Amino acid sequence: MTWLEGSGHDLEPAGIRLKKLIERPQILGVPGAHNGLAGMLAKKAGFEALYISGGAVTATLGLPDLGVMTLEELCFVTRMVSRSTDLPLIVDGDTGYGEALNAMRVVKELERAGAGAVHIEDQVLPKKCGHLNDKRLVSPEDAAAKIAAAVRARSHLRIIARTDAAGVEGLEGAIFRAKLYVEAGADVVFPDALASEDDFRTFAKAVPGPKMANMTEFGRTPYFTDKQFEDMGYSIVIWPATSMRVAASAMKELYIHIKKNGGAEALIPKMTSRADLYDTIGYYDYEALDQTIAGSVVPEAPGE
């Protein structure tokens, strides 16, 4: 069934579905999906939830991850991936786009866009990637008040409290803040940019409730697998910008090759075929909805 026919309309709210996934004993692996096609490919690979990364989305917009993306741009991508996959999405809400009232609106808008969770961090605008230097934080009390406001606004959305305190106030500061955010009603806590297995284990033992880990590339966190994070005490692990990074690397190779060789024929073995693409996006299912459209036949490649 296609989206135009009502696919997904009979599903439970995304936040409820995500809650059930988090409550399972095994860790929930959540890859980033920076657009609808990426989401569909991730779903086809077997993933049950997806992540919308602020850093990945801003990069696709040609912008830096400094809090300059608008809420509507974030909601547009969230709607796109939700529509394409029907999977519950964890969405990067940055600092909540302002103070308490702004965070409440973020919750409402993302719920309507199809999200299952949002994480809100304790940085000051302009925010930075959690793995960069010299981040500035709001007070623990102000951050907790923002989390409480987000919880008050939600119908089903899971509220994830992210703290960037480890690199600013040390691990004990991150633990103190996380406990405060749990008391404010956060469903999950997310310590970003922890630098060692010991840090992850210490945080997990000290802070109650489900916890999320960030396995980003080129950051402060060593490379761990989902099973390793599970053993450390984490319920969720995200690979936030990986899909965007792989896509960007492939496109860079493509454009350099075309410029140098005057064509892309040599890269065809690396491309998704027309037939595979149509299968992924359900092309023929949509085409069949309108009897005025002649059934498409994928052309044979030259030489076949």
Kindly report the average pLDDT of the chain as a whole number: 94
Residues of the domain holding 269: 248-287
Mean pLDDT of 275-283: 94
In a domain, 303, yes or no: no
Handedness of CA 99, 100, 105, 108 (dihedral sign): positive
Is there a single domain that holds both residue 231 and residue 131? Answer: yes
Is there a single domain that holds both residue 263 and residue 236? Answer: no
Which bin fits 207, alpha (ψ -120 to 50), beta or left (φ > 0)? beta
Number of domain units in the chain: 2
Residue 7 has what pLDDT?
66
Mean pLDDT of 144-163: 98
pLDDT band at 127 (very low <50, low <70, confident <90, very high): confident
pLDDT band at 298 (very low <50, low <70, confident <90, very high): confident
In a domain, 223, yes or no: yes
In a domain, 274, yes or no: yes
**Does 132 have pLDDT greater than 90?**
no
Is there a single domain that holds both residue 276 and residue 212? Answer: no
Mean pLDDT of 278-299: 87
**Does 176 have pLDDT greater than 90?**
yes
Mean pLDDT of 19-35: 97
Is there a single domain that holds both residue 146 and residue 193? Answer: yes
What's the CATH code of the domain at 83? 3.20.20.60
Residue 133 has what pLDDT?
78
Mean pLDDT of 102-117: 97
List, edge to edge, every strand of the sheet that includes 89-92. 50-52, 89-92, 117-121, 158-163, 188-191
**Does 128 have pLDDT greater than 80?**
no
Summarize pLDDT for 179-207 with one digit per residue, the tens: 999 999 999 999 999 999 999 999 999 99
pTM: 0.95
Is there a single domain that holds both residue 63 and residue 203? Answer: yes
Is there a single domain that holds both residue 111 and residue 221? Answer: yes
Supply the DSSP symbol for 90: E
- The CA distance from 190 to 197, in Å, is 15
Summarize pLDDT for 75-86 with one digit per residue, the tens: 999 999 999 999
119 versus 220: the higher-pLDDT residue is 119
Mean pLDDT of 155-159: 98
Residue 125 has what pLDDT?
82
Is there a single domain that holds both residue 55 and residue 93? Answer: yes
Question: Six-digit token pair at 39?
Answer: 């989401």
Is there a single domain that holds both residue 220 and residue 260? Answer: no
Is there a single domain that holds both residue 31 and residue 130? Answer: yes
In a domain, 234, yes or no: yes
Is there a single domain that holds both residue 231 and residue 269? Answer: no
**Does 29 have pLDDT greater than 80?**
yes
Summarize pLDDT for 41-75 with one digit per residue, the tens: 999 999 999 999 999 999 999 999 998 999 999 99
In a domain, 297, yes or no: no
Q: Bridge partners of 51?
A: 32, 90
Is there a single domain that holds both residue 18 and residue 89? Answer: yes
Is there a single domain that holds both residue 114 and residue 253? Answer: no
